Amino acid sequence: MGSSKHLFWDGCDTVQLAQNYGTPLYVLSETAVRERCREVKKDFLCKYPNTRAVYASKAFLTMAMVRIIASEGLGLDVVSGGEIYTAYRAGFPMEKTIFHGNNKTLEELQLALETGVGRIVADSESELDIIEDAARRRGKRATLLLRVAPGVDAATHQYMATGHTASKFGFPLAGESISRTIQRIKGSENLVLKGFHFHVGSQLQSNRSHCLAVDALIKEMVLFSSDLGFVTEELNVGGGYGVPEHEGEERKPLKYFTEGIMERVIAGCEQAGIPVPAIIIEPGRWIVSEAGITLYKVGSIKEIPGVMTYVSVDGGMTDNPRPALYGAKYWGVVANRADELAGKKVTIVGKCCESGDVLMKDVMVTDQITRDDILAVFNTGAYNFSMANNYNRLPRPAVVLVREGNAYVIVNRQDYEDLLSGEVIPDHLR
Ligand code: LLP
């Protein structure tokens, strides 16, 4: 593929990776993930006493990822039986997991109790019934946080805002629901309440909503303490810490978000005369997004004279549904021509039968771009693999973990047989 410079990722030649493992290919830098985890430790866990950090596994979860998170000493946020099972099977210390979700099933709750999940985050009074039922059946006590909807807006895509009053998540902060629930848990043999949780939204570029949520919650914590004698031991302020959205944008360190939140919690509790609870954060995207890239092979190139040029790649909204879902922006480089000047404006599209299957609109690439080039798209480590699908019966790509020049397949590429697995032709159609 010519003698141009290649893009390297954690010491690996990405063009070589594409040749060895095929495309589309997710490539995740172990070094980058570990660097982020260490930043969490240095600038949050070691900086403030009585803090914990859990990685929001919905951003990207495989058994190898579980091992990395475990070895870095972080906890895990899980939201389904599938995520619990993955963590458990990979040998994760389950007491460090926190189980979220607005509609956990009885089976999922039983699995959580059986595997020793550390905290269950109750989302509503209705859900509490089923949590209590699951705990009673198992003869166990479920240790809980209550998720609250703090009634704050978040500056992000509406699908990623979760802290407003009309959110499907959490107990409304106003009204009697939380007080009633605190009383109820006090009287339950199978439930223990440790405190509260909120998650205001995702891909946030400031901590404004977090701080407003902290203020709102502390007010209520004071009342719970004075009126109900309930002292909040733990406050989980969720995740949502954003990553760059555009090429060249500087990344925001974790402390950019967490310093202000911690100041607010500490000052707020001191002023209110209540003890500062343990603070838990749940970064997902911030840990894994920039560690990941996706490699595609360029196929058809279509020039519509005077209009635009389409460059088609061999994946698309199946491996990265975020542009179609949220209007998310990406940027990339032709990996086998990494040193060539980007002098041509093109629109990169996937191979799905939908006009909305646009990975990158109007981006500059080398004017030498041609069939069989390898396109690397940056910042795809979060919510790409985890939201991948088989639309148009495209097999899901492999995931390769790279580390200082070595590559390890951590998820095999699906093949056509995998697409059929689980399918049955009834006798009358045979
Ligand atoms: N904690 C809770 C309770 C959450 O619901 C989430 C994300 C997180 C933590 C982690 O948020 P992060 O730090 O990754 O922003 N599919 C969307 C993102 C949805 C996130 C949902 N909850 C996307 O592709 O951008």
What are 255's strand-pairing partners?
none
User: Where does the chain hold its CATH 2.40.37.10 domain(s)?
Assistant: 8-27+290-420
First to last CA, the chain: 48
* Atom 8 of ligand 1, residue of closest alpha carbon: 239
Is residue 37 annotated as a catalytic residue, yes or no? no
Contact in structure between 26 and 33 (CB atoms under 8 Å): no
CA distance 364 to 367: 9
Residue 360 CB contacts under 8 Å (≥ 6 apart), including other chains: 323, 329, 330, 331, 332, 347, 348, 377
By most ligand atoms within 8 Å of CB, the mutation choice from 36, 44, 58, 320 for ligand 1 is 58
Report which of 49, 51, 269, 238 is spatially closest to residue 145, judged by C-alpha positions. Answer: 238
Distance 368 CA to ligand 1 centre (A): 38
Residue 358 carries which side chain, given as an amino acid letter? V
User: 241: which DSSP letter?
Assistant: B
Structure token pair of residue 404: 């200082």
Does ipTM top 0.95?
yes
CA distance 316 to 20: 21
- Read off the pTM: 0.97
- Domain 8-27+290-420, what architecture? Beta Barrel (2.40)
pLDDT tens for the chain, 430 residues: list them: 457 899 999 999 999 999 999 999 999 999 999 999 999 999 999 999 999 999 999 999 999 999 999 999 999 999 999 999 999 999 999 999 999 999 999 999 999 999 999 999 999 999 999 999 999 999 999 999 999 999 888 878 888 878 788 889 999 998 899 999 999 999 999 999 999 999 999 999 999 999 999 999 999 999 999 999 999 999 999 999 999 999 999 999 999 999 999 999 999 999 999 999 999 999 999 999 999 999 999 999 999 999 999 999 999 999 999 999 999 999 999 999 999 999 999 999 999 999 999 999 999 999 999 999 999 999 999 999 999 999 999 999 999 999 999 999 999 999 999 999 999 999 999 9
CA distance 321 to 275: 44
Structure token pair of residue 292: 């990941």
* Atom 16 of ligand 1, residue of closest alpha carbon: 383
- Using DSSP's 3-state secondary structure scheme, residue 75 falls into strand
User: Where does the chain hold its CATH 3.20.20.10 domain(s)?
Assistant: 30-286
What are 75's strand-pairing partners?
54
User: 73: which DSSP letter?
Assistant: T
Q: Is 155 exposed, middle or buried (0-12, 13-18, 19+ CB in 10 A)?
A: middle
Report which of 117, 120, 85 is spatially closest to residue 100, judged by C-alpha positions. Answer: 120
> Residues lining ligand 1, CB < 6 A?
56, 58-59, 77, 100, 160, 199, 202-203, 238-241, 282-286, 322, 383, 387
Structure token pair of residue 331: 């940027």
Alpha-carbon distances of 395 from 204, 419, 425, rounded to whole Å: 32, 7, 21
Report which of 266, 365, 262 is spatially closest to residue 313, judged by C-alpha positions. Answer: 365
**Homologous superfamily of 30-286:** Alanine racemase (3.20.20.10)
